[in-house]
Homo-oligomer: A and B are copies of this chain.
Amino acid sequence: MSTRDSLGEFEQIVLLAMVRLGDNAYGVPIRHEIEKRTKRTISIGALYSTLDRLEAKGYASSWFSNPTAERGGRSRRYFKIEPPGLKALERSREVLEVMWKGVKLGRI
């Protein structure tokens, strides 16, 4: 691992979507939440590989639900942010905050 240990931008976005969704955080709604809020489409692959990496780093955990009674059967893989993920999110926000502090782009 690098010495850096802060998050990439997309990792932040995915973690935040997870936080926003709470108990309903699995692949499909996570993707939907990001697309809805950021107005940009994200591919399925982009999402799942990021989720896998977040889990591998201990920033999130996942487990499978029993299938529901709705049509369409594959089990959902639910995600939850873990304490190191929370810390990393905070650090990332702080770093950008100190760099932005006082900057007004309009005046350049």
Which positions in A face B, CB cutoff 8 Å? 4, 6-9, 12-13, 16-17, 19-20, 34, 37-38, 40, 81, 86, 89-90, 92-93, 95-96, 98-100, 103, 105, 108
Establish whether residues B81 and A108, one from each chain, have CB atoms under 8 Å apart when the complex forms. Answer: yes
Chain B residues, CB < 8 A from A9? 6-9, 12, 92, 95-96
Establish whether residues A105 and B92, one from each chain, have CB atoms under 8 Å apart when the complex forms. Answer: no
Establish whether residues A93 and B86, one from each chain, have CB atoms under 8 Å apart when the complex forms. Answer: no
Roughly how many angstroms separate A44 CA and B105 CA in the complex, as a whole number?
26
| Shortest distance between the CB of A39 and any CB in chain B (Å) | 9
Establish whether residues A99 and B7, one from each chain, have CB atoms under 8 Å apart when the complex forms. Answer: no
Nearest opposing residue in chain B for A16, CB measure: B99
Establish whether residues B20 and A103, one from each chain, have CB atoms under 8 Å apart when the complex forms. Answer: yes
Chain B residues, CB < 8 A from A38? 95, 98-99
**Could you say which of B4, B92, B105 contacts A89, with CB atoms under 8 Å apart?**
B105
Roughly how many angstroms separate A108 CA and B16 CA in the complex, as a whole number?
12
Establish whether residues A16 and B92, one from each chain, have CB atoms under 8 Å apart when the complex forms. Answer: no
**Could you say which of B8, B37, B100 contacts A98, with CB atoms under 8 Å apart?**
B37
